[in-house]
Amino acid sequence: MLHRHSVLVQDEIETRKAAAVRWSVHTPAAVALSDDSRTATLRDGGESLTVGILAPEKVRFEVRDSTPFRESPDPPGQHRNDRIRKLAIHLPQATSARLAVLFASAGAAAKEDAPIRPLAQW
């Protein structure tokens, strides 16, 4: 937690061979993407939450149905989650990546205040 109003989620990916990496979060909130698709605003019941990609620089958010990704397991009997959306990031050919996403409430610190450092240093 940063500044009591935001949370940094950071993942580090290392693979031997290039692989598609997908990151996502599910939400019942309405999702609006910024013009560059690097920031999403989630709104639900008069509350809002800003979600921003801090790293890597070249990825973008996409909003999808909450169905499993094509390469993900899809066992029978799962709920359809019709009112749930998936805010997703796709790294198509990753071998080494640091993915950092900041969740911040209204009026929280700017993205520039979020420290990104290797997980080994946390």
The pLDDT tens digits of the residues spanning 28-78 come to: 999 999 999 999 999 999 999 999 999 999 999 999 988 777 777 777 887
pLDDT category of residue 11 using cuts at 50, 70 and 90:
very high
Q: What is the mean pLDDT of residues 20-33?
A: 95
Please tell me the distance from the alpha carbon of residue 57 to that of residue 97, in angstroms, as a whole number.
11
Q: Which residues are paired to 53 by β-bridges?
A: 101
The pLDDT tens digits of the residues spanning 100-119 come to: 999 998 766 555 566 777 77
pLDDT of residue 65: 87
Query: What's the pTM?
Result: 0.84
Q: Which residues are paired to 2 by β-bridges?
A: 6
pLDDT of residue 107: 63
Q: What is the pLDDT of the chain when averaged over all its residues? A: 87
Q: What is the mean pLDDT of residues 82-101?
A: 93
pLDDT of residue 95: 92
Annotate 19-88 with DSSP letters as a single string.
EEEEEEEEESSEEEE-TTSSEEEEEETTEEEEEEEEE-TT--EEEEESSPPTTS---TT----TT-EEEE
Residues whose CB is less than 8 angstroms from the CB of residue 121 and which lie 6 or more positions away in sequence, other chains included: none
Dihedrals phi, psi of 85, to nearest 5 degrees:
-110, 155
The one-letter code for the residue type at 107 is G
